[in-house]
């Protein structure tokens, strides 16, 4: 099967970036199979993502990176180049609700994700059998109210041991400490069970029910120190009516959460999400 | 064409309400063409809406009301009965943006609304020609920053002169004074250019853009004294991405606003919206 | 936990049905927690569904049925009354694609379905481990091209052995023989991977791709002898663009299929779907 | 206000196209504000659309075209370059239903379309007053069943007289003769009141109602000789249920038709739609 070199760039916008980068790739015989660009007129920043057929270039990804380095420097780029054969490693963290976990495990086994789930960390032991049936290690790390730091040290060791590139909070009902947020900045993806910024905080479906809204939603975002305020990757909604109880909202919510988290993770794994201050550029 | 008696009821829930009401109607030979019920388990309140073929009952609506009175008293009902030949009169208030007004005027002339637009009130003179082309009176009531009360007295006189049953704030960018809110409680419908409770207040599309949300929305609600906090009738959303400028969001927003306001007004005119504290029951 | 008697009725429309039925229930002290009615003006047929708190009535469901019999006869009703403690038994049939099966098994274990999955029948052996992990029997019934009838005899025996009330074709890629369709009329639910009536038949996503449509869909319907033509219960769509390959369409399709099938089955199990000729009334 | 040169290209895919084109633009100092590309792997065809800030290039569009000619020849391109100051001229054709016309006229006056409505042609006289109120010429060209050719000769003369770049069939209920289809290939946009390919032909909402579908749709497509079979630009749907009469479906349909046609036309006017055999690439 073909593999690709995926080049993701952000830099101050100026003339000639596309010409320089595409010229560089063409100069090495590279075949571009997918190209996306965006100029943010407000901030004057430029974003691009190229998918290059690896076989069309007679270089390893390391060689290509080295060759690209001067171009990157010239345009003051923040950039990354990844060989898609190097599949990102995904650690999933859950609490007691399994819907997002079941969904992600299905998508992984069905080959829908360009990455591999490598293990699950939970503050409860409920999902062990499910996870182990999928042949994955399960780490039960209880989070005691009076000793959270110790627990999160253990979580951090698990993430390290799994050599995870991405951590997915698939309804992990604990707040990560600042140290973890910072260390894995841009690599921890959360699903929030609300259409943020509405109903940030606890029990959003009950809040939504009591406000009488006609739509509920879910938000997939990167985790930052400020709770529920990180860059949004994806959102979606589900229609509700006066007929529906808070329990119905929870049930509908599960479906939206699964869908939104799966899309967000998928795009992240395919290097389609570029963080830009507190916002994202998503080349979906 | 057939006309209907439309019976709308809310009362404390208890056994036998449906039997009593449907028995009453059947006893008078009434043919029910549409029936909706809802029991709110939380509050213990019951809601119903019946559409009765008028010709199937040998009574005027006044006679039917009189006959129903004892039933209503027995169950402590808040209720209304309307002959659909008595079409509600709709006053529209606008400021400078015409999209909702154009849409409502089209729907009215196309026969989509079960009511009649009877006049337009505005704090600007911009829409006069459009409104008068539709054969409707146009009231230009400027709202001076330093004498709002006088302006709203004039607005109130216009609404009275129009004998309006409903007032639609079709992007009327002024805040109604408490007196008007109270006097026309449950009869003033606003379209808010945001997915409330997100981004209440001014320039919501710019707020949404700067928060980087992936969906924007609009909310149709009854106006109450507390700004943007009245019972929600309908909401909808439009998908946006990093490509879109605040101007694009405004443009998409117009489409959602039109659609949401039109649905909300339509349901109100068809007696499908029952207010229940700060929420609504919508028999759509 | 409360249980309910659920009464579902269809009959020729005439005055007094609601009064008679609700009077009957009130006469026995019954508390109606959900009520839905529909008069089909074209065909002159009436449909209703009542949910009655069982404890509010001092009778078993058999006694209630017996008592209701004269009312049913009077109005020439097709009707059913079910005690919700008697949970429908669901047999699932699959082929090689697991997405719908995984989804339904999750929903069942999460308590989202008002019924119980009791076994899985497949023409392949691929899903055995998954199904058995859920503690369910798995029947591998190969369907040889030259001896389909024998295979379907075996299928029929399995369904019988499972005492299934409903059979769900969760991407079972075989066509049921007329005998089975007839025997289980109104009780076999299929998910078709297309927005019917577009692209009936084989490989609908490839058909959709080659026609260049901008939306793909899925349809949940009752199986009848005429292929892909039975009463539709639910449909939904997913947006696609020129970027998407047939494989992407297949992947999006899986998500729509899961969602649409789950909704259709849920409504069926809650007695919300009434068949009406080749159409359905869905009291969702 | 800034204007742009918009370059739209399709050609056989091969290495170096992007590099050559972006190099050409950069070589002339051009600032690219929006860039879209697509490689169709099946057909091996490449599509691109560039938006170039005109002021960043010291040439008129004619000079730029001349300079680009050799590049285009080298890659065997089908291409166009347009100065956005040259706004496309839009002729609208209607029959008796006004919803799409009213919507397009609103969007034009609100500045939402990158083009100008220049006149309306109709086989009825109903919309004259509305059109003339907008300051536009109205051509009433009756289409007699027994002399359609003469009528369409007259239509053709009107389109010519209006110097229309695009013809929008905004619910024009006549079938254009092959000669017109051919002459204006890729420039006549129709709104079909159905989710094609379902329910092609007459009275699609009645067909949809009688099949009992749960969604209805609309399709915006280019007109070709084969009826309802031209390249699809955009589609959308509206949810319906057993409650809805064929008249309700017609009403919902109007809203979808308006929305879908407006998006399709908007994209066409912004040169976002590239025809590719019987399909479209839409850089929305």
Whole-complex ipTM: 0.93
A247 touches chain B (CB under 8 A): no
Domain boundary residue among B83, B105, B123?
A: B83
Give A103's contacts in chain C (Cβ within 8 Å).
106
Is D129 found in the same domain as D261? Answer: yes
Is B161 found in the same domain as B56? Answer: no
Which CATH number does the domain housing residue D206 bear?
Answer: 3.40.50.170
**Number of other CB atoms surrounding residue C263 within 10 Å:** 18
Chains in touch with D (≥3 Cβ pairs < 8 A)? A, B, C
Which CATH number does the domain housing residue C17 bear?
Answer: 3.30.70.260
pLDDT band at C196 (very low <50, low <70, confident <90, very high): confident
Give just the sign of the alpha carbon dihedral B283, D243, C196, C266. positive
- What distance in Å separates the CA atoms of residue D224 and residue D63, rounded to the nearest whole number? 34
Q: Which residues of B70-99 are buried (b: 16+ CB within 10 A; e: fewer)?
A: ebbeebebebebbbbeeebbbbbbbbebbb
CB D205 within 8 A of CB D128: no
CB pair distance less than 8 Å for C197 and D198: yes
- What distance in Å separates the CA atoms of residue A238 and residue C187, rounded to the nearest whole number? 28
Quick one: three-class SS letters along C159-179? Answer: HHHCCCCEEEECCCCCCCCHH
Output the pLDDT for position A196: 83
- What distance in Å separates the CA atoms of residue B134 and residue B132, rounded to the nearest whole number? 5
Output the pLDDT for position C204: 87
Tell me how far the alpha carbon of residue B169 is from its chain's centroid: 10
Domain boundary residue among A33, A55, A83?
A: A83
A231 touches chain B (CB under 8 A): yes
CA distance A23 to chain D (A): 5
CB pair distance less than 8 Å for D41 and C276: no
CB C234 within 8 A of CB C260: yes
Is C45 found in the same domain as C112? Answer: no
CA distance B72 to chain D (A): 28
Give just the sign of the alpha carbon dihedral A177, A183, A185, A187. negative
Give me the mean pLDDT over the A128-134 stretch: 97
Report the candidate in B178, B205, B175 with the shortest Cα–Cα distance to residue B190: B175
Is C93 found in the same domain as C78? Answer: no
The contacts of residue D77 (CB under 8 Å, 6+ apart) are D9, D10, D11, D71
- Taking a contact as any Cβ pair under 8 Å apart, which residues of chain B between 10 and 69 contact chain C? 15-16, 18-20, 22-23, 25-27, 29-35, 37, 39, 41, 56
Is B252 found in the same domain as B116? Answer: yes
Task: Return per-residue pLDDT of chain B as tens, 284 residues.
Answer: 789 999 999 999 999 999 999 999 999 999 999 999 999 988 999 999 999 999 999 899 999 999 999 999 999 999 999 999 999 999 999 999 999 999 999 999 999 999 999 999 999 999 999 999 999 999 999 999 999 999 999 999 999 999 999 999 999 999 999 999 999 999 999 999 888 888 887 888 888 888 999 999 999 999 999 888 899 999 999 999 999 999 999 999 999 999 999 999 999 999 999 999 999 999 99
Q: Which residues pair with D12 in a beta bridge?
A: D45
Q: Is there a catalytic annotation at residue C228?
A: yes
Catalytic residue among B228, B248, B255, B271: B228
Task: Return per-residue pLDDT of chain D as tens, 284 residues.
Answer: 789 999 999 999 999 999 999 999 999 999 999 999 999 988 999 999 999 999 999 899 999 999 999 999 999 999 999 999 999 999 999 999 999 999 999 999 999 999 999 999 999 999 999 999 999 999 999 999 999 999 999 999 999 999 999 999 999 999 999 999 999 999 999 999 888 888 887 888 888 888 999 999 999 999 999 888 899 999 999 999 999 999 999 999 999 999 999 999 999 999 999 999 999 999 99
CB pair distance less than 8 Å for C241 and D284: yes
CB pair distance less than 8 Å for B18 and C27: no
Is C116 found in the same domain as C79? Answer: no
Question: Out of B102, B133, B251, whose CB is closest to D106?
Answer: B102
Give just the sign of the alpha carbon dihedral A147, A148, A149, A152. positive
The contacts of residue C142 (CB under 8 Å, 6+ apart) are C123, C124, C151
Q: ∠B13-B18-B24 over CA atoms, to 5°?
A: 130
Q: ∠A89-A90-A93 over CA atoms, to 5°?
A: 150
For strand D78-83 and strand D45-53, is the pairing parallel, antiparallel, or unpaired? Answer: unpaired
CA distance A59 to chain C (A): 28
The contacts of residue D135 (CB under 8 Å, 6+ apart) are none
Catalytic residue among A103, A165, A228, A271: A228
Is B254 found in the same domain as B148? Answer: yes
Tokens of B18: 């449906």
Catalytic residue among D228, D236, D255, D271: D228
Q: What's the total number of domains in chain D? A: 2
Please give the residue range of the domain that contains residue D182: 89-282
Is A118 found in the same domain as A246? Answer: yes
Say which DSSP state C212 is in. T
Interface test with A, best of C244, C251, C283 (most A CBs within 10 A): C251
Domain boundary residue among D34, D53, D83?
A: D83
Q: Which residues pair with A134 in a beta bridge?
A: none
Report the candidate in B272, B255, B241 with the shortest Cα–Cα distance to residue B80: B272
Is B150 found in the same domain as B226? Answer: yes
The contacts of residue C44 (CB under 8 Å, 6+ apart) are C12, C13
CB pair distance less than 8 Å for D98 and B110: yes
Is B154 found in the same domain as B95? Answer: yes
pLDDT value at A136 more than 90: yes
Give D133's contacts in chain B (Cβ within 8 Å).
133
CB pair distance less than 8 Å for A15 and D37: no
Is B102 found in the same domain as B58? Answer: no
- Chain B's closest residue to D259, CA to CA, is B255
Is D110 found in the same domain as D56? Answer: no
pLDDT value at C24 more than 90: yes
Read out DSSP for chain A? ---EEEEEEEEE--TTHHHHHHHHHHHTT-EEEEEEEEEETTTTEEEEEEEEEGGGSSS-HHHHHHHHHHHHHHTT-EEEEEETTSPPEEEEEE-S--HHHHHHHHHHHTT-SSSEEEEEEESSSTTHHHHHHTT--EEE----TT-HHHHHHHHHHHHHHTT-SEEEESS--SPPPHHHHHHTTTSEEEEESS-TTTT-SS-HHHHHHHHT-SEEEEEEEE--SSTT-SPEEEEEEEE--TT--HHHHHHHHHHHHHHHHHHHHHHHHTT-EEEETTEEEE--
3 state DSSP class of C39: strand
Report the candidate in D3, D1, D23 with the shortest Cα–Cα distance to residue D81: D3
């Amino acid at each position: 099967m073909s593999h690709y070199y995926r080049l993701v760039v952000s830099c101050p916008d100026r003339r000639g970036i596309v010409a320089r980068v595409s010229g560089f790739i063409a100069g090495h015989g590279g075949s571009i199979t997918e190209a996306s660009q965006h100029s943010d007129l407000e901030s004057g920043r430029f974003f691009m993502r190229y998918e290059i057929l690896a076989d069309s270039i007679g270089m390893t990804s390391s060689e290509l990176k080295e060759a690209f380095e001067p171009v990157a420097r010239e345009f003051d780029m923040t950039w990354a180049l990844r060989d898609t054969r190097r599949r990102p490693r995904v650690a999933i963290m859950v609490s007691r609700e399994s819907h997002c976990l079941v969904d992600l495990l299905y998508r992984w086994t069905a080959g829908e994700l360009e990455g591999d789930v490598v293990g699950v960390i939970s503050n409860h032991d409920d999902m062990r059998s499910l996870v182990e049936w999928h042949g994955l290690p399960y780490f039960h790390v209880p989070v005691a109210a009076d000793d959270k730091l110790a627990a999160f040290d253990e979580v951090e060791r698990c993430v390290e041991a799994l050599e995870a590139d991405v951590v997915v909070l698939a309804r992990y009902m604990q707040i990560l400490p600042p140290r973890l947020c910072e260390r894995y900045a841009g690599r921890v993806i959360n699903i929030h069970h609300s259409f943020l910024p509405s109903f940030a905080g606890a029990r959003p479906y009950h809040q939504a029910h009591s406000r009488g809204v006609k739509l509920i939603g879910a938000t997939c975002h990167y985790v930052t120190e400020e709770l529920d305020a990180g860059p949004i990757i994806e959102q979606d909604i589900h229609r509700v009516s006066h007929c529906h109880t808070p329990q119905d909202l929870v049930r509908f919510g599960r479906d939206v959460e699964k869908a939104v988290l799966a899309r967000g993770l998928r795009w992240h794994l395919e290097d389609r999400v570029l963080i830009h201050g507190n916002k994202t550029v998503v080349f979906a």
